[in-house]
Amino acid sequence: MNTPAKNDRAAWITGPSAKCSVPPKDRDRTWRIVLLGAPGVGKGTQADLLAERLGMCHLSTGDVFRAAASPCNRERTPAMVESLRYMREGRLVPDSTVWEVVRERAGCIHCPGGFLLDGFPRTLPQAHALEELMNSEGITLDGVLDFELPIPEIVARLSGRRVCEKCKAVFHVTQRPPRAQGICDQCGGKLVQREDDRPEAVKLRMEIYERDTAPLIEFYRGLGKLLSIPATGSADEVFARTLAALELAVTDGHLRDRFPHDAIVGLGIRRRQSDELL
Ligand code: AMP
């Protein structure tokens, strides 16, 4: 059986001058989702699984900056060169530059295939800018998935993470090892440790997350968009919880913390941050 071609995300990764050779297919339902969660919580893995199942593109701002950092990229603007310095140090790229990158790619936000935003927004000004863009275009978010995990577990995950240089598939030296050491199962590319997964950068990224990104949880809760997903256990378990939460949110018609209690018992979902897991 042929596996379906993956959306190639060319317009997102390269910029608006590129045309996607494999655009997302029309679906019964267009999903527009934002992923939240500390670095290393497994957002990238969940994004790949969700994109494959639901058909939208996985749009990561980190992937855009990493593509710009690649030695083959000779068309870097001065703002992009400056951004890469921030990225290597594990600091956030300034909002104005990130917004320029996203605004240039607004076609991906409008795309009928939908989107899964990963790593954006990451600050309140970015979240406000995205809301404004979407409101002005009459587009609404289906939900914001917030993956929750204790900090020591996150640090262990980050230090063992390896990423394929070529197709960006994510592995872990112990929890999700590739079949052959150092080689990507999917495309045979070389697996590397991201510069920002090194210990000094990880410490800084966690501090920055707490200060700049964690406030987005309350922002999206206030908009009635937040779905908290416990990110403990295997990637498949987290994925099952995520799908169940999305399905309930859609069946219920809205996300404003009103899931019927009986329907979610046993799925490990909580309706409010302070609640026990159901
Ligand atoms: P990520 O792959 O999402 O962890 O992103 C890697 C790095 O890219 C981050 O540590 C930041 O330096 C930069 N970056 C990606 N997205 C953003 C964003 N929305 N705002 C600021 N910096 C970002």
Q: Which domains does the chain have, with CATH numbers?
A: 28-264 (3.40.50.300)
Average pLDDT over all residues of the chain: 84
CA distance 23 to 38: 29
Give residue 171 CA to ligand 1 midpoint distance, Å. 19
> 99 CB less than 6 Å from ligand 1?
no
pLDDT reported for residue 257: 44
Point out the ligand 1 atom lying closest to the alpha carbon of residue 65. Answer: 8
Share of the chain above pLDDT 90, in %: 47
DSSP type of residue 7: P
Q: At what angle do helices 124-137 and 95-104 cross, to 10 degrees?
A: 30
pLDDT reported for residue 168: 85
**Contact status, residue 276 vs residue 270, Cβ threshold 8 Å:** yes
- Chain-centroid distance of CA 66 in Å reads 14
What is the model's pTM?
A: 0.81
> 90 CB less than 6 Å from ligand 1?
yes
By CB atoms closer than 10 A (0-12, 13-18, 19+), residue 37 is buried
> 38 CB less than 6 Å from ligand 1?
no
> 109 CB less than 6 Å from ligand 1?
no
Least confident among 148-152, 205-209, 268-272: 268-272
**Contact status, residue 177 vs residue 106, Cβ threshold 8 Å:** no
**pLDDT tens string 42-79:** 898 899 999 999 989 999 999 998 888 877 766 677 77
Establish whether 88 is a catalytic residue: no
Catalytic residue, from 9, 43, 157, 241: name it. Answer: 43
pLDDT beyond 90 at 209: yes
Choose which residue among 122, 123, 130, 163 to substitute to test ligand 1 binding: the one with the highest number of ligand atoms within 8 A of its C-beta.
122
> 111 CB less than 6 Å from ligand 1?
no
Establish whether 205 is a catalytic residue: yes
